[in-house]
Amino acid sequence: MSSTHALHVPHSIIPDLSVVIPAYNEELRLAPTLERIHRFLAAGPLTWEIVVVDDGSKDGTVALAERMTASIPHLRVVVQPRNRGKGAAVRAGMLAARGRVRVMCDADCSMPPEEMPKLLARIATGEVEIAIGSRYCEGAAVAKKQPIYRRLWSRLCNRVIQRTLVPGVLDTQCGFKAFTAEAAIDLFRRAKIDGWAFDLEILALARRRAWGIAEVAVSWQDDERSRVNPLKDMWKVIKEAVTIRRNLRRGAYGELAAARS
């Protein structure tokens, strides 16, 4: 069970936007990210909340986030008692969020919040229910490139994944995705993958559930402090991708007909 602390938005109020940030041992990177996102949201016209989900951190992440609720209104902290993985943290945050649109972004702020309107605009037209940031679409910009080994890892994972689970999506792993509340609840309540491949599961499920997906070119900057281990994590993603394919074949996610329940 997860617990929620520092609740500032009354339950009766439904904000326009929820920003969900998974965090594991992010004591050093989280504060600047929260401050930057807060400045951006506070200057805009939308009502909003920020939901930080701590994934069983062993450092001072929870204490830091809870202290920041004093200076950042509408900031909530959801605490998971043990480390389960990024997928589990995002899932908890998406289901705890209350916004009409729910955006996931990483604690390192490699995707500037100023890019958020690009995702929201695609959903606002009603053409799709899901908008995902892409570093590989035409028009994308990378302000600071990843090391070559990480670029190769990302490309290889995407190549394998495109052919198996979500063909046609150029960048499945970008940690910047927006969902309508209806799509988020439908998909994340069914999701099972706790690790890195949770994006693949959500997108594959979205295809099966007939939710519209738009891939949006964004500006992105690598954080050199990333904890991705290319060799170890690549095999984790591939293993989880195999599990997702098996789950889909077996109908493990419930009714997958185009008519959503």
In a domain, 117, yes or no: no
Whole-number pLDDT of residue 259 = 46
* Whether the Cβ atoms of residue 57 and residue 23 lie closer than 8 Å to each other: yes
Which CATH number characterizes residue 88's domain?
3.90.550.10
The Cα–Cα gap between 74 and 1 comes to: 22
Predicted confidence at residue 151, as pLDDT, reads 61
Residue 242: inside a domain: yes
Distance between CA 37 and CA 42 in Å, rounded?
8
What is the number of structural domains in the chain?
2
**Residue 114 DSSP one-character state:** G
**Does the residue 7 lie in any domain?**
yes
On whether both 166 and 240 belong to a single domain, the answer is yes
Residue 5 forms part of a structural domain = yes
**From CA 206, how far away is CA 209, in angstroms rounded?**
5
In this prediction, what percent of the chain has a pLDDT beyond 90?
Answer: 64
Residue 3 Ramachandran class (φ > 0 left, ψ -120 to 50 alpha, else beta): beta
Instruction: Name the token pair of 68.
Output: 């920041």
Does residue 1 carry a pLDDT above 60? Answer: no
Cross-strand pairs, 19: 50, 103
Q: Are residues 9 and 96 in the same domain?
A: yes
Residues 80 and 153 in one domain: no
Helices 198-208 and 181-188, axial angle in degrees (round to 10): 110
Residue at 128 is within a domain: no
Same domain, 89 and 155: no
Beta strand 141-144 with 75-80 is unpaired
Q: pLDDT of 160-193, one tens digit each? A: 666 678 888 888 888 899 999 999 999 999 999 9
Least confident of 51-55, 106-110, 150-154: 150-154
- The verdict on residue 118 lying in a domain is no
Token representation of residue 195: 């690790």
pLDDT in tens, 86-111: 999 999 999 999 999 999 999 998 88
- Return the pLDDT at 257: 46
The answer to whether residue 119 sits within a structural domain is: no
Per-residue model confidence as pLDDT tens digits over 191-212: 999 998 899 999 999 999 999 9
- The token pair at 80 is 């998971």
Taking alpha carbons only, the member of 146, 140, 149, 23 closest to residue 86 is 23
Q: In terms of domains, do 82 and 143 share one?
A: no
- Domain carrying residue 190: 136-173+183-252
Asked, for residue 260, whether it belongs to a domain, the answer is no
**pLDDT average, residue stretch 36-41:** 98
Neighbours of 58 (CB within 10 A): 9
* Residue 6: predicted pLDDT: 41
